[in-house]
Structure 1
Amino acid sequence: MAGVGLSSRLEGGDHVQSVESEKVQGVLSRLVTLEPRDLCNEAIVEKCRATRDLRSCGRIVEHSLNSCNHASLCAECVQRCDVCPICRAPIRSFGTPVRTRLYEDCCRAGMIRSRPGGATDADGHPNADVRRLWSFFDIALEYGLVSVIHHYVSDVCMDDMAVSSNATVSLLLDGTVVKDWCRRTLSHIIWNLHEIYGLGSAQMRYKEAQMGRFSALLLGLSEVLESLEGPYVNESSAPIIELQQLIEATRRVSQHLDVMSWCARHNFLEDLQSSHSSISEWRLAVKNRKLAATDRAWHGNIQGVRTDTDVRTSTLFIEDAMSNAGFGEDDENAFIWETLELQHLRQTTTLSSWRREGVGVMSNLHASGMLYPPESVRAAVDLIFLEASSDLILAKKAIFLYYLFDRHWPGTNNDWKSILDDYVVTFGISRHAMLESFVFFLLDEADDSALEEACCLLPEVVSSTIHPKVPRVLLERKRPFAALDVLRCSDGIGDVRFSGSAKNDEVSQLEDAVTAVRVRLECGLLTDAYLYQRAYISRIKSIEPKQSVLKSTGMNQHGSRDWSYEMESLVEEICWLCAEKCLVAQMIELPWDKDEERVLLNCLMNLATKDPCSSTGSLMVMFYIMRCRNQEAYLVHKELLAIEKTFLEQCKDMERNEIIKNICVQRSLLVVVRVCI
């Protein structure tokens, strides 16, 4: 159960005292002007210390003495005593000798509907003191006076000088009391939301005002927790980790509530026809998109020698988004799900069963598409806004927007457009972000009409922050010039980023650079691809000096970037693509440096060995002759003759043998004329 005041009002439904009430206004005014340390004193249950019949009176004190502010005498004993039993200060004989304590004022104003007893609760906290303090926090939270709690945290809980020999006072001065109040209040809000979410979509829309009120409470609660975390944000002790988990849970509940309120307002889109006839048909469509993306993916692996047997792999934009958001990777955060019982906000138990079985989210998406798309709008909200970190709220909103596009595209219904506009306005999504999510969906869709629409929208979407995968997908879908436009407008894809040094970041950057080279070569811009490769490697060299190579990882032995590995990957890509497009003759004319030349010639030799019928070997000889390196040209010629001889001995195809013999004769004449003479 949460604090007395807030919990009783939540259980009482819509009971909220009118702010215009004179008593309520008086209590709020007093609460705001009260010093934080005095708030602690007001929360302590005091008993009358006057002597009555040779023993202490012991009645609960409801007033404080105006002369010394001590709550030491009950209403009856103050009439017969002359001095305060604590400090011996004289009691005023004129005017009003006492004033009502804050807690009694709250009760009389109807802001606290039940009084705590004197027993201790399950945590060992004395109800009569701690819960009275929680009642003040409840009132401050509900009436938007979160600053009262902020001041209590900063001026009392965080003050090293705020100490007391009294065990009860010492407990109230500890920030743990505030954290426990936040935890219990959040737990109670979750249970109330659970009851609302359990209603049908038709009934839930009538609870919109109550859901909005809970949203405001969660926002204030989050602010209080952040003030508690402030001085210890960089610490990693168990209490601080628990506090951070509590903050994370509060944010997730708040984000989930905001989207649930929006969905309830639109009846969870039940009045809007989906473009998919059933969830099974939708999941089959997603699976087919995945298969189509894999089929059209470029072969080749930047971390090894490129061959025809390389496995083609590709992912959808929605896969990348959900993977980056960490869906299903929350197993270690048991506090959020078990202690705070966030699972009660979910309609389905599918994800919790996956969590217990240890099945990764993305593996399910790859295997059967069961995770995406979710079975309903409600399931989508639960998945997106409860599973992923609250720090990724922008990504979560974009993923849900992708889901809406996927559910209703191509939608021509005016109701669908108005609902989409309302979502964008409600959650402050810019037009650029909306179109970006739409383009990602269209590029995932295998339909050609979707691709054409995506290409039409690209000019409005392209910026320096565009997803680096966009030109790669356009290239795979035979739109190299559209991909080139994206690269030129973004002016950053494939460039060296200085944000980190993790291995995955380096591999991702190299993949972007390879894509940039491929796009230029597909557009016939060989020189542009060469210059891009040279500029990219120059930037790598400016970051790290040349060190020893560990080709298996693309990193050197010190964990920093290895420019030679990345240079080899880019030059090999240029060489293979030029061979495919019969551009080797133009390629060898480019001014390669010593390191690039080594990789280039090794790649050309592999090509010549693989297919002696091609002119690649002769072009290698020409490469040396053009640079007046006749001795090296002769040695390469001899090596090629040995390769061709072996091939002729094994090949039974007379036509191919004749081609190879003609190539040998022509190259021999070239060597004799240019080398031997």
Structure 2
Amino acid sequence: MIWCIRHSFIQDICSRYADHTSWSSDVIQRKAYAETKWPGFSDEVSDVNQASKSTLFIEQALQNLGIEQSYMDKEEEIAITCLQNEQSSSMFCSTITTDHFSIDRYPFKNLREAVDVLFLHGASDMVIAKQAILLYYLFDRHWSRPDSEWRYLVDDFAATFGITNRTLLECLVFCLLDDYSSEALEEACSHLPKISSKETHPKIAQVLLERQKYDMALLVLKCTGHGSFSATENFKKDDISSLSEAVTVVRVRIECRLLTEAFMYHRSYCSKVKEQHSADMTHAEDALKNSWVYHVEMMVTEFCAICIKRNLVDKMIDLPWDSEEEKHLHKSLFDSAHEMPMKPNGSLLVVYYLRVNILILIFCI
């Protein structure tokens, strides 16, 4: 709060937006743009698709703070009412929707409201995350204006609270990647080589993939530890997030026309999942989605989907698929041939069947 007072709550620094309404409209457009980009997994009702549902970085960060729960805690709300500015939000929602007129959402109306929402509510042990969100807010408010007007503000914030230059760049990149303009995307890409590491947010590669920055997405993946063909070191206990990230790795490599590398990563991931899960073939939905069979199905289906979309089926069928993978490969090609009979996928499916049967005959002889 002392820092805010020292800078007069940045009331004297011009925003890049004409008013709060125009800023809110822009944020809603960002959300709409994110939702119209690359679709989730082919299984639209899967938990994985819910996990990879398009959210902005700022949404995800705010949701992690548990702010809504704090507002619903009546005892806590009474205790902090005397500290909160009367013009600040009486209720705040982390999720961004197209409803302008209900509960307050990001962007904050002003710096005072940002401080009240972030530091009087939510988890008290997440001060660093709250500082990062405040930095995001400052970047979002000013970044397209001349640096001479506002950059000193961010630098002073960093110096006051001991924030590193790397963290500053990360917050700026998150802000730029949430923005749907090509200028913001280009600037984000110029900073990514400086900050990409094993700690880089996994969603960055996904956003770059959605925005068709395939080479940069591949660079980020390599910096985060996905540069090798092995998925072992990146396998997590949270199977859904692991699967989502694995599909992103495969998609990026296919977009870069690295089908062999994509296949090797796919095989490594599926092998690791198989080691950690029993082949539970029960029809119970929850049990199936926790089995390695489900992971294999999702990986192969997504592999096929992007190869079909990019006309790489002829190269895809040359890869050494095993019997479990072939079932899903056949289904994807058959469904594609049925939906698009004028495309060559049906012919390629026949070629694939003939090739497999010939190999079977050779081995039988």
Same fold (TM over 0.5): yes
Note the C-alpha offset of 1:568: 0.7
Q: Which residue of 1 aligns with 2:244?
A: 511
Q: 1:605 to 1:479 in 2, by over 3 A?
A: same
Note the C-alpha offset of 1:324: 1.7
Kept in 1: contact 2:57–2:178 (CA 8 A): yes
Q: Which amino acid aligns with 1:318?
A: I
Moved more, 611-620 or 360-369: 360-369
For 1:413 and 1:581, the matched residues in 2 are separated by: 42
Listed as ranges, the matches of 1:379-418 within 5 Å are 379-414=113-148, 416-418=150-152
Note the C-alpha offset of 1:366: 5.1
Q: Which residue of 1 aligns with 2:257?
A: 524
Q: Which amino acid aligns with 1:325?
A: L
Q: Which amino acid aligns with 1:418?
A: Y
User: Aligned to 2:340, which of 611, 616, 622?
Assistant: 611
Kept in 1: contact 2:205–2:221 (CA 8 A): yes
Q: Which amino acid aligns with 2:84?
A: R
Q: 1:525 to 1:348 in 2, by over 3 A?
A: farther
For 2:190 and 2:128, the matched residues in 1 are separated by: 25
Q: Which residue of 2 aligns with 1:544?
A: 277
Note the C-alpha offset of 1:267: 1.2
Task: Provide the secondary structure at the position in 1 that maps to 2:69.
Answer: coil
Q: 1:349 to 1:492 in 2, by over 3 A?
A: farther
Q: Which amino acid aligns with 1:484?
A: L
Q: Does 1:534 align with 2:263?
A: no
Structure 2: give runs of 5+ residues left out of the alignment. 47-51
Q: 1:303 to 1:343 in 2, by over 3 A?
A: farther
For 1:389 and 1:408, the matched residues in 2 are separated by: 27
Q: Which residue of 1 aligns with 2:22?
A: 281
Q: Does 1:301 align with 2:53?
A: no
Note the C-alpha offset of 1:506: 2.6
Q: Which residue of 2 aligns with 1:263?
A: 4
For 1:586 and 1:498, the matched residues in 2 are separated by: 28
| Identical positions, percent | 38
Q: Which residue of 2 aligns with 1:337?
A: 77
Q: 1:351 to 1:497 in 2, by over 3 A?
A: farther
For 1:413 and 1:613, the matched residues in 2 are separated by: 55
Q: Which residue of 1 aligns with 2:208?
A: 474
Task: Provide the secondary structure at the position in 2 that maps to 1:481.
Answer: helix
Task: Provide the secondary structure at the position in 2 that maps to 1:299.
Answer: coil
Listed as ranges, the matches of 1:69-468 within 5 Å are 260-295=1-36, 297-304=37-44, 314-331=54-71, 333-338=73-78, 341-348=79-86, 351-352=89-90, 354=91, 361-363=93-95, 365=97, 367-368=99-100, 370-414=104-148, 416-468=150-202
Q: 1:383 to 1:495 in 2, by over 3 A?
A: farther
Note the C-alpha offset of 1:367: 2.9
Note the C-alpha offset of 1:300: 4.2
For 2:284 and 2:208, the matched residues in 1 are separated by: 29
Q: Deviations over 1:200-236 (max 9, x none)?
A: xxxxxxxxxxxxxxxxxxxxxxxxxxxxxxxxxxxxx
Largest Rg, 1 or 2? 1
Q: Which residue of 1 aligns with 2:354?
A: 625
Q: Which residue of 1 aligns with 2:298?
A: 569
Q: 1:549 to 1:267 in 2, by over 3 A?
A: farther
Q: Deviations over 1:110-147 (max 9, x none)?
A: xxxxxxxxxxxxxxxxxxxxxxxxxxxxxxxxxxxxxx
Q: Which amino acid aligns with 1:367?
A: D
Q: Which amino acid aligns with 2:14?
A: Q
For 2:45 and 2:322, the matched residues in 1 are separated by: 21
For 1:415 and 1:615, the matched residues in 2 are separated by: 58
For 2:99 and 2:336, the matched residues in 1 are separated by: 37
For 1:614 and 1:408, the matched residues in 2 are separated by: 49
Q: 1:315 to 1:404 in 2, by over 3 A?
A: same
For 2:138 and 2:226, the matched residues in 1 are separated by: 30
Q: Which residue of 1 aligns with 2:49?
A: none
Superposition TM-score, scaled by structure 1 size: 0.49
Q: Which amino acid aligns with 2:93?
A: V
For 1:317 and 1:445, the matched residues in 2 are separated by: 10
For 2:185 and 2:284, the matched residues in 1 are separated by: 37
Q: Which residue of 1 aligns with 2:314?
A: 585
Note the C-alpha offset of 1:456: 0.5
Q: 1:364 to 1:464 in 2, by over 3 A?
A: closer
Kept in 2: contact 1:496–1:539 (CA 8 A): no
Q: Which amino acid aligns with 2:100?
A: S
Q: 1:507 to 1:563 in 2, by over 3 A?
A: same
Q: Which amino acid aligns with 1:348?
A: E
Kept in 1: contact 2:71–2:121 (CA 8 A): no
Q: Deviations over 1:380-431 (max 9, x none)?
A: 1111111220121111110000000011112324352222111111111111
Q: 1:630 to 1:523 in 2, by over 3 A?
A: closer
For 2:85 and 2:117, the matched residues in 1 are separated by: 10
For 2:311 and 2:235, the matched residues in 1 are separated by: 37
Q: Which residue of 2 aligns with 1:667?
A: none
Note the C-alpha offset of 1:261: 0.9
For 1:342 and 1:597, the matched residues in 2 are separated by: 60
Note the C-alpha offset of 1:364: 5.6
- RMSD value over aligned CA atoms? 2.8
Note the C-alpha offset of 1:291: 1.7
Q: 1:462 to 1:550 in 2, by over 3 A?
A: farther
Kept in 2: contact 1:268–1:378 (CA 8 A): yes
Note the C-alpha offset of 1:565: 0.7
Structure 1: give runs of 5+ residues left out of the alignment. 1-259, 307-311, 355-359, 633-673
For 2:108 and 2:5, the matched residues in 1 are separated by: 18
For 2:53 and 2:72, the matched residues in 1 are separated by: 30
Superposition TM-score, scaled by structure 2 size: 0.88
Q: Which amino acid aligns with 1:537?
A: C
Note the C-alpha offset of 1:550: 5.7
For 2:188 and 2:255, the matched residues in 1 are separated by: 20
Q: Which amino acid aligns with 1:591?
A: P
Note the C-alpha offset of 1:495: 6.3
Q: Relative contact order, CA 8 A, sep 6+: which one is greater?
A: 2
Q: Which amino acid aligns with 1:299?
A: P
